[in-house]
Each structure stands twice: as structure tokens, then as C-alpha cells.
Structure 1
């Protein structure tokens, strides 16, 4: 099995881009039988087959520019006014949906930096020219129309993919470290990689459409530092009152630790978490290990306000 630390190293220390890290993550996810996240990885590697599947970070702001001329004047990169549009039509006109593979985006960035270009262009079919450039005088022939996107928008896509993938791998490593065992593969199979992935990559309160009737839904019902809402959530998921009381004590004891990290569980809560996973593995908690991991991770992260 691939070493999680190796992929993290690729994401944080490699100058070769993130395609290699995505490929390694795909192998890792298949090993963990986490099929839904593989779809996202494939989309980033190969490009998105339909813009309806695009995540928000791939929808960028754009301007519509034209090249136009008549017998007297010639214009290049002329921005057209869009005040004749409104609602969804105006919104679509000012957006550019980037469905390219991550390697294509990285190559565009390399080419742009080599040529000292500050923008990326997406052509619009010439037959739509007068629809957008309605206020351009009819005496002008429009020879080209396109959307102009600041190059830093493409950089932000690469950064978002890198950061979200890194969040997933760091959380996966953190959770496997809390589980007893010698084999990283066996420990990783005891957690719900798909749930960790959906929290890390897409966040709470999100429904992700992967196509082929496949979706992941992440819910958020627990208020930060509100133990009653945490208790209610755990009770609904079959955690008995004794274990919940033990968790409460663990939280109070960890609160006394002044140097406790704000983005991680304290030692007492970590120990409680590991014990609950072992109970699921030993069937003393009537829930599967994968489901237990998803329930506890989501609940505790929401309670502590830890961003996944």
C-alpha cells in the first residue's frame, strides 16, 4: 500500500504539480474500497465530463471581450457592456466554467508564466457575438469574441485541489494513528475514508453530485461547544449513556490543558475515540467500523469547530 506520508510529501514539497499525488491517492482509495471519492479524483485527472458536476472552485469570474473593425477603426480586447442582460443570463455571461484536467490547467499556467501573460481566454462561438455585443454598432464586423479570465483564477483551482486533498490525507493519517495495529492498510480500512474525504474536500452541509446516481451528503446538526447537541447526536447513533458521560469527562479534562491544539482532539478525547472504534470492531457497539468512524469524526469535529 502507498504510504500516506509519501503523498503528503508530494503535495507539500514537490515542484512537479499535483497530478502524481492525485494518481497515488486514486490507488490509495481503491485499496480502501472508497469508490465515490475516486470519481472526484478521476474528474480532476481527466477533466469534468459535464459542467453540472463542477465544484464551486472551478467557476471563475470573467469578462467578455471582442476584436472588431470597420473601414475606419479596429479594436482588440474591447470589453462589451452587458447591461441588456439580467438574472441568470447575466450571471452566466460573467462566469467561466473550467472543466479542463488539472494537468492541462498546470500547463496553461506554465505557458502563461513563460509568456508573461496575465489572462486565460475561452472562445465563444462567433454566432453568439451579436447576442452579447448588442450595443456595438452594426458597422463593425466582430471577428472574435471570448471570455477573458485572470490567470490567478487558474492558480486558485490548483491551490484548492492541493489544499483539499492535503486536508483529506492529514485527517486520514490522524485517525489511523488513533487505532491500534501494525499494518497501515488494516488500520485505514477501519475508518470511513469516504466520509473523511467528503468532510475534508467538500465540507459540511453539502450534497455532491458525482454522476451515475452517486451522491454524498454531509450533515451538520451539532453546535460548537454545545454538549447537549453532541449528546443527542450520539444517542441517535446508538452510543450508550455511559460512553457519552465518559466523553464529557474527557472533554472537561482536556479543557484544562492550556497548550491543547485548537485543530485536534485532546489526549483524553483521542483515547475515548480510539476506544469507541475498538468497540465497533469488537461488535460491542452495534455499528460497523466505517459507520462508527463517520459518526464520531463528524460529531466531534462539529462540536470542537474543527474544519475538515
Structure 2
């Protein structure tokens, strides 16, 4: 059995630990000479360092609770509004746990026994009195709670992304049979592998809804057509389609305040989504819609 087939079978099987699966993907990344795939695998295997941005599937919303009180009143396991804690601490992301631990450290069997997990937040406790709690309160414990299922979701997200990547690679090279038949030295292969990585591993292939609720990582500078082209090229939009878009944008240089594209740009977007539906553009329709919306609104100088 070849490496691609092994990885596909291991990704499908819940009996194969995800850390074992990733070690095989590391070999695949080396064979493909893919730096982006190798970096992702190593981060998942060894943990994400502080300077590295964690993927969206590792960003988990916490609910805050506190135990404390004063001479007259005591509270135990009392919920706190996340917005109030955010204002008090001045940290807009304080309610988001960026889970950086190595995926092999996640004990699936143990976590399944728990309903929730706690994160000690006592280093922020001094912000609470007078802002979130009564000023006279002494804070005995302050923590964040996350559903245990969210941690298990990290394991499933990695497994699913590996499977999506391998299936997309086999779809792009259906006659290759095995990884040795794909020449990583060809520039076109490197470009395709990076594109597949961006649309599967990065999460864009699983985008649901509009761009403001997605994990699309794309930012086009306002009015900069070359920047827009460069960004969309990374996601597999070919030169002919980009040329058509340039013509449409030249004829429709502005967008209405309700963020509706003009007829020519809208027609181009519709054509790209048709390509996504047919497989001619190797992204899902949902991912493609979110991607194009975010990129084009950025070009027009609007937030998605």
C-alpha cells in the first residue's frame, strides 16, 4: 500500500491516533517538498509556539466564572459576562482560548469523561473588583470554562483536514497512483500543493456562511489590483479569470454602500462559483463565495 493510501485509510479510521497519522503526513510533506504542509504538521505534533498564530479550529470560546465575596455576601461558581471581563481587562480576545498544546497530549478517552474543562484566570483577578464584581469583593477563584467537546473537535478537525488534503491531491493528480509519480521539483506542482493546502488544511474548504463568519485568511489592499491578483492566485484563480475580473473592476470601480457588487463583477463572481460547483475551481462553493466576497470588499475598501 502506498503512502497516500495509508494516510487516507488512517484518516478515516478512529482507531489510528492522530499523532501517528501526522507522522505519515510529515513524510508526505517531505516528499512533496512542501514547507507550508511541513510547518503545519510540526506545529500540530510539537505544539504552537507563542509567536505562531493558531488555526481557527484551535480558538475556543470560554465562559467565565468566579468564586469570592465580602463580609456580607459570598458567591460560588457565579457566571461573569464575557463583555464585562473584556472591558475590565482591556483584552478583546480574553474570552478566546488559543489552544497551543501538541495534539498528541490530548487524551481523548479522559476528555470524553468530562463535560467541561477549566482554565485558571487568576492572573486577571485583580481587574474584576469595582468593574465586574463589587469593589469590596475578594476573588478566591477566577477561571474560564470550555466544553470538553471543543478539545475533541481539534482532533477531528486535524483528521478531517488531512483527509481533505489527500483526497484533493488525488483528485488533482488522478493518474499519479502514488506520490512518487508527482514531481515536487516542478514549479506548477509546488503551486498546486500550496493551493490545496490553503483550501483544505487552512480551513477554507469548510467555510460556512459569509466571509465575516469564515476562516478565510485573505486581505486585499484597497484599490490595489495587483495585490488582489496575487491573493486570489494563491487560492487557484487562474490568469484568464483574473484578467476578466480586472476588466469588470475597471468598468465598476465603486461599490454601493450596501456592499452589493455591480452587474459585471457580480457576473464574474457567479461564474467562479459555477466553476467551484463543477470542480473546475478546486474549492467548495461556500469557501469560494466567502473568499471572493472578502477579497473584493477589501479591494473596494470595505470590511466584509
TM-score normalised over the length of structure 2: 0.62
Unaligned runs of 5+ in 2: 206-215, 220-228, 234-238, 246-273, 289-304
Q: Secondary structure at the match of 2:60?
A: strand
CA change 1:188–1:152 in 2 (3 A) is: farther
SS at match of 1:50: coil
The residue that corresponds to 1:111 in the other structure is 110
Q: Secondary structure at the match of 2:167?
A: helix
CA contact (8 A) 1:129 1:142 kept: yes
Paired residue total: 231
* 1:185 aligned partner: 180
Q: State the TM-score, normalizing by the size of structure 1.
A: 0.61
Q: Within 2, Cα distance between the matches of 1:120 and 1:172?
A: 37
Residue 63 and residue 176 in structure 1: after superposition, are their counterparts in 2 closer, same or farther (change >3 A)? same
Q: Could you give the per-residue CA deviations for residues 255-301 of structure 1, whole angstroms, max 9, x where no partner exists?
A: 9xxxxx95646xxxxxxxxxxxxxxxxxxxxxxxxxxxxxxxxxx33
Report how far residue 29 of structure 1 moved: 0.7
Q: How do 1:247-286 and structure 2 match up within 5 A?
A: 264=279
Aligned partner of residue 111 in structure 2, secondary structure: helix
Residue-by-residue CA offset, 1:81-116 (whole Å, 9 max, x unaligned) = 453744993632322211111122x31x422323xx
User: What whole-Å deviation, never above 9, does each CA across 1:34-83 have from its counterpart, x for those lacking one?
Assistant: 12211111111111102651112211111121222555655432222453
Match of 1:158 among 149, 155, 163: 155
Match of 1:272 in 2: none
What value does the CA root-mean-square deviation take over the aligned residues? 3.9
Aligned to 2:59: 59
Determine the C-alpha separation between the residues in 1 that align with 2:36 and 2:100: 19
| Structure 2 counterpart of 1:273 | none
2: CA distance between counterparts of 1:228 and 1:35?
28
**2:100 is the counterpart of 1:99:** yes
Larger Rg: 1
Would you identify which runs of 4 or more consecutive aligned residues in structure 1 move more than 4 Å?
Answer: 69-74, 230-233, 261-265, 304-308
Report the CA distance between 1:174 and its aligned residue: 1.7
Could you tell me which residue of structure 2 aligns to residue 279 of structure 1?
Answer: none
Q: Distance in 2 between matches of 1:137 and 1:306?
A: 47
8 A Cα contact 2:2 2:178, kept in partner: no
Shift of 1:22: 0.9
What secondary structure, in the 3-state scheme, does the structure 1 residue paired with 2:232 have? Answer: coil
Gaps spanning 5+ residues in structure 1: where? Answer: 209-216, 222-226, 234-254, 256-260, 266-299
Contact 2:69 2:75 in 1 (8 A): yes
